[in-house]
Amino acid sequence: MSTVPSSAQIVVLDHPLVQHKLTRLRQAQTSTAGFRRLTRELSLLMCYEATRDLALEPVRIETPLEAMEGCLLSGKKLCFVSILRAGNGILDGMLDLVPSARVGHIGLFRDHDTLEAIEYYKKLPDDVAERDCILVDPMLATGHSAAAAIARVKDAGVRNIIFVCLIAAPEGIRHLSETHPDVKIVTCAVDRGLDDNGYIRPGIGDAGDRLFGTK
């Protein structure tokens, strides 16, 4: 069994609501509509953690009763980058929470023989280098797709990146921490490991198929 390296920057959300919804999500009998809804709800909860360290600045406001000093976000703004296609299931919930964020998309598919990530699409905001980026994908399996997507975002000039996924395998965490040690991983669970086909066990099945009802 592969183990998670001690040097990995990883946050596992053990909140009861997260674990409850994740268990419902894993169940084979969960419908496409239910899977989509649960993914959106979990993405909201993961977004809270992924944005925990955003900078704030004081601001004077007027409530209906009196003046006070509140706080608003300051500094660089956010960009969510979805790794297609399954990343869009997480993206929707994140945008519910931060509707002003810019959005990028990176399309990658995994070569079934080499398990390497091959790019077929990339579209990022023009000012992405001036933003903090949160990359989203439901699963971190081998880590090749995530590492490739992060490399492309770094090539665009981004320096502050967080990777968010529903579940991760130790092998993927290891690969990502070795290729991009500066990137923090936020996930709901670290599963046992990968099978011979590169699927996470016990996992959630193929997230894209379950989100979009294509299988």
Length of the chain: 215
The token pair at 106 is 């990176």
Does 205 count as an annotated binding residue?
yes
Residue 39 appears among annotated catalytic residues: no
Residue 111 assigned to a binding site: no
Question: Are 176 and 140 spatial neighbours (Cβ–Cβ below 8 Å)?
Answer: yes
2 is in an annotated binding site: no
160-74-42-143 Cα dihedral, nearest 10 degrees = 0
Q: Is 43 annotated to bind ligand?
A: no
171: nearest Cα among 150, 197, 149, 151: 197
The catalytic residue among 24, 102, 179, 209 is 209
Among this protein's residues, is 206 annotated catalytic? yes
- Residue 142 counted as an annotated binding residue: yes
Contact between 81 and 104 under an 8 Å Cβ cutoff? The reply is: yes
Decide if 114 is catalytic: yes
Out of 113, 114, 126, 196, the active site residue is 114
Please check if 110 is assigned to a binding site: yes
20 Cβ contact list (under 8 Å, min separation 6): none
182 is a catalytic site residue: no
Question: Residue 85, annotated ligand binder?
Answer: yes
Residue stretches of the annotated binding site = 85, 110, 137-145, 200, 205-207
**Positions at the binding site for 5-phospho-alpha-D-ribose 1-diphosphate:** 85, 110, 137-145, 206
- Binding site residues for uracil, as ranges? 200, 205-207
Q: Hey, which residues are catalytic here?
A: 110, 114, 206, 209
